[in-house]
Amino acid sequence: MTSDPRLAPLRELAEAYARGPVRRIAVVGNAPMEPSASRAAAIDGADLVFRVNSFVTDRPGQPATQGSRTDVVLFSRLVPATPHLFDRYRERLYVLLEPMRMYGRPELWPASWPADLGFAVARNDAVAIPLNTELGLPWREEQLAPTTGTTAAWLAMNLFAEAEVLLTGISFVDDPTQTSWQHQWGDSVGVGPEHRIAAEAVLISGWLATGRMRFLPLTGDM
């Protein structure tokens, strides 16, 4: 169970999209990955699959790389829509992250969203603020926000404290000094000024050291 009662509604929603009891969660970021049948199988074999923002999934006839299942989508209002983002959206849980709303960013309704898209909102007091605090960042003074990938991993562990988390598609674990990143879909983009990925890499490395989380390499087969 989650120890924070403010997260209980999100846990209940996520459980409704799971394939049975949640013992293993796959969290898939958008960094480029080489084909790997074993990685794709590990992702699709999880009880819950979290994906973030401009994600892609494997399609029939393509090399197995990042798996084909999507149960929970964590996204922001400014996300560029890939052909995969809203595919079969009625069968998924969409969770909106809005950390920059804490600093006065206005509410937007992108035209790319389906008109009947239903979503849950991750409360900043229960998600962004505790994660920023855990990162040890001066977030109030500098208007900082965690990346969606790190937020997804943090949520997976805090919603389901009893589950193992498989993490992949996060490039800054190995390259925390990068100033831009390439995604599996779309052009290279700069790391937003609101992010401190070096601190996130340290935090994720600590999670990996506990054994609660396991990293699936981006290159080579597992």
DSSP notation for 145-188: ---HHHHHHHHHHHH-TTSEEEEES-GGGT-TT-SEE--SSS--
CA distance 85 to 101: 22
Q: C-alpha distances in angstroms, 128 versus 47, 65, 121, 136?
A: 25, 30, 12, 12
Residue 221 domain flag: no
Residue 167 domain flag: yes
Residue 37 domain flag: yes
pLDDT string in tens for the chain (222-residue length): 667 999 999 999 999 999 999 999 999 999 999 999 999 999 999 999 999 999 999 999 999 999 999 999 999 998 999 999 999 999 999 999 999 999 998 888 898 999 999 999 999 999 999 999 999 999 999 999 999 999 999 999 999 999 999 999 999 999 999 999 888 888 888 999 999 999 999 999 999 999 999 999 999 776
Running DSSP on this structure, what letter comes out for residue 200? Answer: H
**CA nearest 42: which of 168, 160, 155, 149?**
168
Q: Which domain holds residue 33?
A: 5-215
Strand order in the sheet with 93-96: 120-121, 93-96, 72-75, 48-52, 24-28, 164-168, 213-215
Residue 97 domain flag: yes
Domain count for the chain, please give it: 1
**Main-chain phi, psi angles of 148, to 5 degrees:** -65, -35
Q: C-alpha distances in angstroms, 175 versus 137, 201, 216?
A: 19, 8, 15
Q: At what angle do helices 8-16 and 148-159 cross, to 10 degrees?
A: 90
**Main-chain phi, psi angles of 118, to 5 degrees:** -100, 145
pLDDT for the residue 107: 86
Whether 28 contacts 165, CB under 8 Å: no
First-to-last C-alpha distance (Å) of the chain: 31
Residue 86 domain flag: yes
pLDDT for the residue 126: 97
Residues listed for the chain: 222
Residue 159 domain flag: yes
Residue 220 domain flag: no
Running DSSP on this structure, what letter comes out for residue 7? Answer: G
Residue 40 domain flag: yes
